[in-house]
Homo-oligomer: A and B are copies of this chain.
Amino acid sequence: MFESAELGHQVEKKEYEKEEPKLRSALLAAQMQVLERAEFPVILLSGGVDGGGKGEVVNLLLDWMDPRHIQVHAMGAPSDEELSRPPMWRFWRALPPKGKTGVFFGSWYTAPIVDRVYGRTRGAELTRALGEISRFERMLVDEGALVVKFWMHLSKKAQKKRFRELEKDPRTAWRVTKQDWNNQEHYDKFREISERALRDTSTAEAPWNVVEATDRRYRNLTVGRTILEAIGKRLERKRATPVRAAPPPPPPIDSRNVLRDLDLTQSLTDEQYAKRLPKQQGRINGLSRLKKFRDKHACVLVFEGNDAAGKGGTIRRVTSALDARRYSVVPIAAPTEEERAQPYLWRFWRHIPRAGRFTIFDRSWYGRVLVERVEGFAAEPDWIRAYREIVDFEEALVRAGVVVVKFWLAISSHEQLTRFRLREKTPFKRFKITEEDWRNREKWGEYERAVCDMVDRTSTDVAPWHLIEANDKRWARVKVAECLAEAIEKAL
């Protein structure tokens, strides 16, 4: 992949001086259009070999374009807040909103490549990481983002020469560190691994642009023109290339499904409840205080369920087992303006707990494949691709030690009606029942199908769905507490 970038490409000074002003005003104009339309973010990755000028190029772009609308992220060593969360968290929190440009140097590629070069990981781990990255970038593009990736390349000889030049000039000598010379010794290994990484992640939607960095003028013009062209093409479209997505298979031809198979008559007496709930709460509390949990794990709970299935009350039985310092509850309502300017999963990533903590989602990212699907708020290709994105998301959490526990609280249609009517009669609960609840109820069948598809597509080994029979509240609460305790125990 690097052959074309070792040919000795050059641009004459005279040509550069003629082309550069034209390019920069065109880039500035393009940037303004992106800003005004505010329909998609531009995500630029600047990677490559040391001395290739990853940083110089970024400084150049900031000089050419309007730096007020470019956010630069030099991803050096992670902070402790970042270290105590899944590795991708720091990139999610840095994503630019629609209309803005985010430049990453030191991106999600750095750790997988460097770890492999220095033998800290095996090839299989690299493969997995690259697959994850490809799907992450695809998600970005599907969500509308323009992703442009640059790899500044220098041959081994050219790199050595560049280091020597930089060292000679007192103004730039600080840029060459011992680590750089160290890496130069590993040049061949680095080249091999990078080649592999670029190959695996040069996708149709987010290809790599390998740029020969020996001649600065050639490098600068190439980078500038590539960005200009990419923005121009993206602006021509109303949205990203439509996703080709096959819908879930039709429902089973008999009337059985995972929800109807639940035995909703299961219940507990007051006495059983009074005995069993505190026992489970004590178990959860004990687990939450274990050193191993506090240091290496965190817990994400997802509560979904039919309207009036008792999510709120169940959540309170969980929180009362926990120390207030250790959890937060995130009720999912309509996204805020800042959230709407980001990819769909961004608003959930921002609440991912650090080690030792719990985040309890009252409704969740599954809204996309439930209410947004049924009500038509999300286009079909968008909710269909969400299944896969959600599985990736949860897997990334679990791999980082987060225990993901998902509950569907199921009640019968009849039970729901009883509860709705009760709510309407109780002055204190009346605020809990709205016109919308009655409308949703009319779509019972559609919701049922969406739930079954969701379970089929997102109940994984690492993050299974727990279907909770919730006609009897006591039964539901105790079962939730049991499942939670078991899930944490299993992870430890």
Contact = CB atoms under 8 A, between A and B. Distances in A.
A110 interface: no
Contacts of A336: 336-338
A32 B431 contact: yes
Given A55-B323, A63-B316, A328 B71 contact: yes
B72 A328 contact: yes
Contact of A329 (B68, B74, B81): B68
Interface string A405-443: 000000000000000000000001001000000000000
A312 B319 CA distance: 50
B103 A55 contact: no
B428 A25 contact: yes
A66 interface: yes
A306 to B, nearest CB: 18
A262 interface: no
Given A81-B79, A81-B81, A324-B62, A319 B362 contact: no
Contact of A59 (B174, B320, B362): B320
Nearest to A328: B71
B320 A362 contact: no
A296 interface: no
Interface residues of A, number: 45
A72 B319 CA distance: 12
A80 interface: yes
Given A62-B320, A79-B81, A72 B325 contact: yes
A223 interface: no
Contacts of A325: 55, 72, 74, 76, 105
A316 B67 CA distance: 7
A260 interface: no
B174 A74 contact: no
Nearest to A320: B63
Nearest to A282: B171
Interface string A25-68: 10011001000100000000000000000010011001100111
A315 interface: yes
Given A315-B68, A329-B67, A337-B336, A29 B320 contact: no
A272 to B, nearest CB: 22
A9 B179 CA distance: 67
A270 to B, nearest CB: 17
A234 interface: no
A14 to B, nearest CB: 21
A131 interface: no
Contacts of A320: 59, 62-63
Contact of A289 (B74, B174, B315): B174
Instruction: Identify which of A25, A28, A337 gathers the most chain B CB atoms within 10 Å of its CB.
Output: A337
A324 B431 contact: no
A313 to B, nearest CB: 10
Contact of A67 (B63, B74, B289, B319): B319
Interface in A453-468: none
Given A25-B428, A80-B81, A103 B324 contact: yes
Interface in A68-105: 68-72, 74, 76, 79-81, 103, 105
A324 B72 contact: yes
A8 interface: no
Given A25-B428, A336-B337, A337-B336, A312 B74 contact: no
A69 B331 contact: yes
7 contacts: A55-B323, A58-B324, A59-B324, A62-B324, A63-B316, A79-B79, A105-B325
